[in-house]
Amino acid sequence: MSRFFVNGEQVDFRGDADTPLLWALRDHLGLTGTKFGCGAGLCGACTVHLDGKAVRSCVTPVASIAGKRVVTIEGIGNTSRAPVALAVHEAWIEKDVVQCGYCQPGQVMSAVALLTANPSPTDAQIDAAMNGNLCRCGTYQRIREAIHGASAALRKA
Amino acid sequence: MDAPARRARRRFLRNSAGLAGVLVVGFVLPEGRGRFAQAQEPKKAIAPTAFVRIGKDGTVTVIVKHLEFGQGVLTSLPMILAEELACDWARVRSELAPAAPEYAHTAFGMQMTGGSSSVWNSWDQLRTAGAQARTMLVEAAARQWKVVAADCRAEKGFVLGPGKRRLSYGQLTEAAAKLPVPESVTLKPASAFTRIGTSTLRLDAADKATGRARFGMDMKGKDLHTAVIAHPPVFGARLKSIDAEKVKAVAGVTHVVEMNRGVAIVAKDFWAAKKGRDALQAQWDLGRNASVSSDSLAARFAEAAKAPGIPAKKSANPDAMKSAAKTIAADYEVPFLAHAPMEPLNCTVELTGDGADVWVGSQFQGVDREAAAKALRIPVEKVRLHTLLAGGGFGRRANPVSDYVVEACEVARRAKVPVKLVWTREDDIRGGFYRPAYLHRVEVDLDGAGAIAAWRHAIAGPSILAGTPFEPMMVKDGIDPTSVEGVADTPYALPNMEVSLHTVDAGVPVLWWRSVGHSHAAFVMETLIDEAAAAAGQDPVAYRRALLAAKPRVLNALEVAAARAGWGSPLAKGRARGIAVHESFGSVCAQVAEVSLVEGAPRVHRVVAAFDCGLAVNPLGVEAQVQSAIAYGLGAALFGAITLADGRVQQSNFHDYRVLRFAEMPAVEVHLTGGGERPTGVGEPATPPIAPAVANALFALTGKRARKLPLSSMAWA
């Protein structure tokens, strides 16, 4: 058994210890906002926060996260990062970022982690922080604008 | 289907026969049934039609017959209907339609999404539906007030009558639903549009940015099993034998199903199914494709191109081709490409006592529903196919042979449990149905002044349509139009042009990939025109201008892109521009790309696009599609290639099938150059020009001509 916390709730996971966190979230906890894209840590669709850091849940076995705190897209609005998450969500809507939308939970989680660590990122810093999140619809340009927009909104707040 | 659903269905069919916007009280869409109904919103209809329901609270729900997979139809199609309905846009919602004949494409005759056609084929249909509903609401108000309808008008969700009379659509919807549907309605002139043509934020943005949006992959249910399939290592290989002992020993694995195209491992969850597959020992009869390689295919294409092909376009005067001052002769090679949508392919199937439910993000609801019925061995009427959001598709979810839908149905039928089939990314990259690889062999004759005197163009490669149900309809005289489009129908005034086709069965499943034949045709045509301009010592824009005098839309897009990009103005050292223009799907896109070399590799910094899609219904959405089409095409142009060795696909995931990453996205500027009163295609036409625009810029920078994609396969520095 592996015990960890998801969105503030204790989880006692009794499945295989090598189960990636992604599948524990999706298949066992029903949290399908975190997406499966590659299974190899190459696309970022499965990004969650683990003790505050953006990680790829598809290559994070549950055995490796005992005692740790996981926050998913479903829970990010109920954490101390809620103001950042809200600013990101609003900027995403205002800049009309999404297309198919499948990668967007991962993009949002990466963007929230970036803006938490660096409230005023440059283009180059955005590129570096977001380069692991693929989008086949090519929403990158609007994501970049939305991150700047969220950053500006947070500075005003 | 239970009794109420059957009744609702019958009523739906009776009332909607032949008419687009029929109001029917109490109609319940035939979805949300079955045990996984929690994935759907409950539907409490008051006054629905096939395309719009107006609730008593005034909410307008537009039913979208096309798949939403990024292109924005959940917003653009409601805009069209709302324009004529004269409702309050803030009250408009949208939802995906189920699979039903009423939702057939108005030009192609079956329910499907592709060919950049969602908006234009819905244009008259949704405007008419909106106007019908508005007319009925006005009539209902007029009757209640005992005045004539001509003295009433509709505005922002209300009907206004004489003497400040005013009723909301919500108040009128029940009465309106009892009225006959008007046979003819008056549509607004384009000059009166207030919603169409106005940049409008997407209706699905909040759900998608918060993770609430449900995709096919997100289907869940208490008994829902997950299946993964061990596919053959070589296309067309057959299963000989398996050792499933170790598979069955994996905790959670419930079934091992041997199938024609592989072995399905069914389990309680994905991870158990995947571990089961990893443990499988399978022997295959590899068949005739076991020795196929990219090199052997290239040799076959080249061999085929030596013989005379089937003419797709004939020169009026073949003798004119003998007096060239100079001839540019070139072979171009383009590779197979995987679509690689972000959401890997999946399909959920549940057999019920009275039929089956199929949940899938499908571009081909009509075809997939029929294929599902065949695989499930039940009549097609008993298949309820529910369209879910898809995480991209780019053509991959529009397969004439419904490959992954058939697989899911076969597994569900044989395992006798509800099943969600999940393809892993490796399955996706290695699973075939690629953009075909092609060889173009071209000779361009120039006269003494550098003008094109003749153009001989042979294309060799696989046919997308051969062997599909579309072949009899679409392949004429041996010419698959998807192999030659963008070449044989070039807008340039090219004298003495001959185009011939050599169809070669490569043994690799192929399919349409965003912009289909144009995806390679534009690369060849536009780099050659550029080369002819250089050979003539002329500016690439000026040279094209002279060949486009009879094509004002194409010429205008070219001029706008050049002007907005500052064509001819100085650039920073180490940078260069290239231009390309291409017509496809009824639209025109011209692009100027600005490039440099970063550590020897091409980097695209800026793309200025001029795009003519006729009347742009949602300019904000059109801009997004142009950015998207450029990002998609640029990733492929720089990096994309599926290659084969010993019959096996050599790539497997995003590390070796490179797509465009965040930091590689250029700044894309979009200028809309269209207009008029009707929309044309949007989703695809901006993909073709990006590869040649970048290749031409790299020529301007380095003096080297690209003859092969991807561009990263060449040494540029």
Among B212, B252, B425, whose Cβ lies nearest the Cβ of A38? B425
Tell me the residues of chain B between 580 and 609 that have a Cβ less than 8 Å away from chain A.
none
Is CATH 3.30.365.10 correct for B216-287+345-422? yes
pLDDT value at residue B101: 87
For the cut 50, the answer to whether the pLDDT of residue B540 exceeds it is yes
For the cut 60, the answer to whether the pLDDT of residue B270 exceeds it is yes
For the cut 70, the answer to whether the pLDDT of residue B14 exceeds it is no
Region of poorest pLDDT, from A70-79, B32-41, B659-668, B689-698: B32-41
Contacts of B96 in chain A (CB under 8 A): none
Contacts of A143 in chain B (CB under 8 A): 662
What CA–CA distance (Å, rounded) separates B169 from B90? 14
CATH number of B294-336+434-713: 3.30.365.10
For the cut 70, the answer to whether the pLDDT of residue B33 exceeds it is no
For the cut 50, the answer to whether the pLDDT of residue B112 exceeds it is yes
Q: Please enumerate in sequence order all residues whose Cβ is within 8 A of that of A85, keeping only pairs 6 or more positions apart, or say none.
A: A76, A77, A79, A108, A112
CB pair distance less than 8 Å for A136 and B342: yes
pLDDT value at residue B315: 86
Among B209, B251, B630, whose Cβ lies nearest the Cβ of A98? B209
What topology does CATH give the domain B3-200?
Aldehyde Oxidoreductase; domain 4 (3.30.365)
For the cut 80, the answer to whether the pLDDT of residue B30 exceeds it is no
For the cut 50, the answer to whether the pLDDT of residue B18 exceeds it is no
For the cut 70, the answer to whether the pLDDT of residue B21 exceeds it is no
Q: Six-digit token pair at B490? A: 């070039």
pLDDT value at residue B32: 33
pLDDT value at residue B260: 79
pLDDT value at residue B318: 67
Tell me the residues of chain B between 226 and 245 that have a Cβ less than 8 Å away from chain A.
226
Quick one: B374 exposed, middle or buried, by C-beta within 10 A (0-12, 13-18, 19+)? Answer: middle
Contacts of A127 in chain B (CB under 8 A): 662-663
Contacts of A88 in chain B (CB under 8 A): 209
Report the number of secondary-structure helices (H) and strands (E) in chain A: 5, 5
Q: Give the ipTM.
A: 0.98
What CA–CA distance (Å, rounded) separates B680 from B676? 10
In this prediction, residue B102 has a pLDDT band, given cuts at 50, 70 and 90, of: confident
Mutation for testing the B interface, residue in A95, A96, A142 having most B CBs under 10 Å: A96
Any CB–CB contact under 8 A between A108 and chain B?
A: yes
Any idea where the domains of chain B sit in the sequence?
A: 3-200, 216-287+345-422, 294-336+434-713
CB pair distance less than 8 Å for A100 and B629: no
Q: Six-digit token pair at B663? A: 């930091």
Residue position matching structure tokens 């043509």? B197
- Domains of chain A as residue ranges with CATH: 2-75 (3.10.20.30), 77-156 (1.10.150.120)
CB atoms within 10 A of CB A132: 17
CB pair distance less than 8 Å for B271 and A137: no
pLDDT value at residue B122: 96
Report chain B's terminal Cα–Cα distance, integer Å.
65
Residues B399-420: tens digit of each pLDDT = 999 999 999 999 999 999 999 9
Mean pLDDT in residue range B26-41 = 32
pLDDT value at residue A157: 79
CB pair distance less than 8 Å for B665 and A142: no
For the cut 70, the answer to whether the pLDDT of residue B2 exceeds it is no
For the cut 80, the answer to whether the pLDDT of residue B388 exceeds it is yes
In this prediction, residue B25 has a pLDDT band, given cuts at 50, 70 and 90, of: very low
Contacts of A16 in chain B (CB under 8 A): 251, 271-272, 275
Distances (CA, A) of B166 to B53, B83, B159: 21, 20, 6
Residues B113-162: tens digit of each pLDDT = 999 999 999 999 999 999 999 999 999 999 999 999 999 999 999 999 99
Contacts of A74 in chain B (CB under 8 A): 211
Amino acid at B462: P
Contacts of A28 in chain B (CB under 8 A): 269
For the cut 70, the answer to whether the pLDDT of residue B601 exceeds it is yes
Helix, strand or coil, per DSSP, at residue B528: helix
Residues B428-484: tens digit of each pLDDT = 999 999 999 999 999 999 999 999 999 999 999 999 999 998 999 999 999 999 999
CB pair distance less than 8 Å for A141 and B667: yes
pLDDT value at residue B321: 58
Average pLDDT, whole number, for chain B? 92
Size of interface A-B (CB pairs under 8 A): 185
pLDDT value at residue B320: 64
pLDDT value at residue B8: 29
Mean pLDDT in residue range B616-636 = 98
Distances (CA, A) of B332 to B195, B443, B477, B709: 45, 11, 25, 8
Q: Report the share of chain B in percent with pLDDT over 90.
A: 89
